[in-house]
Structure 1
Amino acid sequence: MKKYAYIGCLGFIAVITTEFGVIGILPQIADYYKISIDKAGYLLSAFALIIALTGPFMTLLTSGFNRKSVMFTAIFIFLITGIVSYFSPPFWLLILVRILPAFLQPVYIATALSVAVSQADKKYSNQLMGIVFSGVAIAMVTTVPFATWIASLWSWEYSFLIQSIVSLIALIAIYCVLPSMPVKEKKTYGSQIKILTQPTFIISTAMNFFMITAWFSTYSYFADYLNKAKGMDSTMVSYMLFLFGIIGVIANWIAGKMLSKNITLTTAFFLSGTIIIMPVLLYWSDGSMIMTIIAIGIWGFLYSPSFLNASTYMISSAPNSLEFANSLATSFGNLGVTLGTTLGGWMIIRYDVQYNPWIGLFFGLLALLMIGLRSMIERKKKMVTARNS
């Protein structure tokens, strides 16, 4: 039912607003706590690292629980995080409360996707997953830039207030609209873990990791990059996040349609942005505000479906283990966020933020290599099967 997909999408908006809402206010947080921008980046990288390290295990542990209860509990913790962060606690405590919801973030995503496709025809599953994942783009066009804009008017704490409100709305929707959904048949841990022995799944995991690393080496420092490399103030940055998100909503819808026809080509098409947009268009747009805005628009179009593409690409190699495969996609994607953010911060401190897109180029090429390798293996497998039949 589409209703379940839209509920999952609403919760995803709360999740993404909390995880990525700090991107637009990292410079303000760094100023407030008198720390460097790379240390402020820990608010993003620490969150992502916890997801990467615990995601699959938490998903396995909660796989037998009522799905409505799991989704409600996850969003409730996101709400508490936003409230505590609003009161500008000491930096160590701010990081600690940021980490708490990270334990259940992949659990929420995997459960929301499972709920969305649970009563649907298989041929519509990619489109329903696309609706859930559109929460990423919608957050980028609404709550994330709005929170950044509010922070630019008053102070960075108000960004966390917006995050709390979004989480509260999602919490109410899950409680009031979603029915109780107990798990009728729990899969054994062994049946799910066995996908880790499949070469195509391992390669798909590596592709996911490299692709997200490529994008987040620059995107994690979106505000800092536009401030220093493009000379934009905080208000202009919020407008750019708004543009980024509007185009992202369209991109997710298009990607959902394209994935239903060809998963590999769709993933490769959107991945090309790490090679074309980030190091080339962003670099050559220097000195021209119009060209910079166009480059950011194309960047938003090609970046926004990255999590949808990564999850769909990985799940396509393990269709019978949707929840566990997606939790691994979320974990390795967030490991990519951690590495991309860390390398991006190192580049800023060592050299300058304008060089960050070249990190994206390197990891983007590695991701494309993984796509080519998986396609080659699958082609050989088909030839062997055809020969033996």
Structure 2
Amino acid sequence: MKKYAYIGCLGFIAVITTEFGIIGILPQIAEHYKISIDKAGYLLSAFALIIALTGPFMTLLVSGYDRKKIMLTSIAIFLITGLVSSFSPPFWLLMVVRVLPAFLQPVYIATALSVAVSDATDNKNELMSIVFSGVALAMVTTVPFATWISSLWSWEYSFMIQTLVCFIAFLMIYFMLPSIPVKEKKSYGSQLKILTQPSFMLSTAANFFMITAWFSTYSYFADYLNKAKGMNETMISYMLFVFGIIGVLSTWIAGKMLKHDVTKTMAFFLSGTLVVPILLYVSHDDLFSTIMVIGIWGFMYSPSFLNASTYMISSAPDSLEFANSLATSFGNLGVTLGTTLGGWMIVSKGLANNIWICFAFGLLALLMMLLRSVYDSKSK
């Protein structure tokens, strides 16, 4: 049902606002706690690492529980930790409350997708795109708004915005989603079997390398635009808005394209990991050129999680929830590696050079796609 997909989308906005809303305020957090930007980046990479390490296990663990209760519990944890973060606790405590909701993030995403497509027949990809549009909508609304608010007052207000979004999502799930008990719980063995399929593992590697590529630069979006392109905090919040509004459009387009050809859609948007670094390099500090590149960047990047999940699920259609939790986990492992490598590059080689990490890992992702295509053609 589309209603369930839109409810899942709203919760996704809350989840993404919490995970990625911090990107726009990393420089302020680094200044507040008197730490380097790469150490502030741990707030993003640690969140992603917890998802990567625990996501599939948590999803398997709760696979027999009522799906409404799972979604409510997940969003409630996001709400509480956002509230604590808004009081600017000591950095160690901020780190702790940042990673707590990460244990349930892939659980929420897998469950929301499962609920959205539970009664679907031939429009599963379209319903999944509605849920995943929460990523792009967060990028165009709550993430830039939280960054803008923090530029007016302080970074703590960004967490207040995140808490408010989580509260709204909690209410919508509570009042508009019926109880959805699991009718038939699949055995762990039947779900784990997809790990023995070469096609699925190559798809997983493509996802991992693609997300690593994008986040080596995107994690430091605010710092990059400030130091490499000379933009102030207000201008950066506008750029996040441009990035996001184009991303909403591209996610909708990707959803339509995936109905026709999953592999070609994945490859098309993945090519952005090669194109965008080159365009960022040649645009120098020209404002108009940079804005154009950010638009292209937002268009090519925004459907990446949708494309990756759909691409992985296409090789394991009978294990949607577990396959998607693995997509989320390996995607977030890519966030961790990309953020870590990007931070290392900024500190050791200079901020302008971390775009080439994106290029290198983009090539690796395309290679994994090529290997899967070769394997699939030989297996027919």
- Normalised to the residue count of structure 2, the TM-score between the two structures is 1.00
Quote the Cα distance in structure 1 between the aligned partners of 2:351 and 2:166. Answer: 32
* Contact 2:228 2:285 survives alignment (8 Å): no
SS across alignment from 1:319: coil
Q: What are the equivalent positions in structure 2 for 1:231-250 lying under 5 Å apart?
A: 231-250=230-249
Aligned to 1:72: 72
SS across alignment from 1:115: helix
Correspondent of 1:343 among 341, 362, 369:
341
Quote the Cα distance in structure 2 between the aligned partners of 1:264 and 1:149. Answer: 37
Measured against aligned partners, the alpha-carbon deviations of 1:181-227 in whole angstroms (never above 9, x if no partner) come to 00010000000000000000000000000000000000000000000
Q: Over aligned residue pairs, what C-alpha RMSD do you find?
A: 0.4
SS across alignment from 1:224: helix
Aligned to 2:58: 58
Aligned to 1:313: 311
SS across alignment from 2:185: coil
Matching of residue 26 in structure 1 with residue 18 in structure 2: no
Q: Percent of pairs identical after alignment?
A: 77
C-alpha deviation, 1:351, in angstroms: 1.3
Quote the Cα distance in structure 2 between the aligned partners of 1:372 and 1:44. Answer: 31
Aligned to 1:385: none
Counterpart amino acid of residue 75 in structure 1: I
C-alpha deviation, 1:41, in angstroms: 0.2
Quote the Cα distance in structure 2 between the aligned partners of 1:335 and 1:206. Answer: 11
Quote the Cα distance in structure 2 between the aligned partners of 1:221 and 1:344. Answer: 8
Correspondent of 2:283 among 285, 288, 297:
285
SS across alignment from 1:354: helix
C-alpha deviation, 1:353, in angstroms: 1.1
Aligned to 2:271: 272
SS across alignment from 2:316: coil
C-alpha deviation, 1:85, in angstroms: 0.2
SS across alignment from 2:59: helix
C-alpha deviation, 1:103, in angstroms: 0.2
Aligned to 1:134: 133
Aligned to 1:17: 17
C-alpha deviation, 1:352, in angstroms: 1.1
Quote the Cα distance in structure 2 between the aligned partners of 1:369 and 1:230. Answer: 32
C-alpha deviation, 1:60, in angstroms: 0.1
Aligned to 2:112: 112
Quote the Cα distance in structure 1 between the aligned partners of 2:54 and 2:288. Answer: 43
Aligned to 1:333: 331
Quote the Cα distance in structure 2 between the aligned partners of 1:355 and 1:112. Answer: 38
Measured against aligned partners, the alpha-carbon deviations of 1:43-72 in whole angstroms (never above 9, x if no partner) come to 000000000000000000000000000000
Quote the Cα distance in structure 2 between the aligned partners of 1:316 and 1:16. Answer: 24
Quote the Cα distance in structure 2 between the aligned partners of 1:339 and 1:234. Answer: 26
Counterpart amino acid of residue 260 in structure 1: K
Quote the Cα distance in structure 2 between the aligned partners of 1:101 and 1:32. Answer: 23
Matching of residue 157 in structure 1 with residue 144 in structure 2: no
C-alpha deviation, 1:138, in angstroms: 0.0
C-alpha deviation, 1:287, in angstroms: 2.9
Which blocks of at least 5 consecutive residues in structure 1 are unaligned?
Answer: 383-389
C-alpha deviation, 1:164, in angstroms: 0.2
C-alpha deviation, 1:293, in angstroms: 0.2
Aligned to 2:184: 185
Quote the Cα distance in structure 2 between the aligned partners of 1:113 and 1:5. Answer: 7
Quote the Cα distance in structure 1 between the aligned partners of 2:288 and 2:126. Answer: 34
Measured against aligned partners, the alpha-carbon deviations of 1:346-366 in whole angstroms (never above 9, x if no partner) come to 000001111111000000000
C-alpha deviation, 1:120, in angstroms: 1.5
Matching of residue 365 in structure 1 with residue 363 in structure 2: yes
Aligned to 1:386: none
C-alpha deviation, 1:119, in angstroms: 1.2
Quote the Cα distance in structure 2 between the aligned partners of 1:124 and 1:233. Answer: 43
C-alpha deviation, 1:270, in angstroms: 0.2
Which blocks of at least 5 consecutive residues in structure 2 are unaligned?
Answer: none
* Contact 2:230 2:285 survives alignment (8 Å): no
Aligned to 1:257: 256
Aligned to 2:206: 207
C-alpha deviation, 1:261, in angstroms: 0.4
SS across alignment from 1:22: helix
SS across alignment from 2:354: helix
Measured against aligned partners, the alpha-carbon deviations of 1:289-315 in whole angstroms (never above 9, x if no partner) come to 100000000000000000000000000
Name the count of aligned residue pairs.
380
Measured against aligned partners, the alpha-carbon deviations of 1:125-145 in whole angstroms (never above 9, x if no partner) come to 000000000000000000000
Matching of residue 169 in structure 1 with residue 131 in structure 2: no
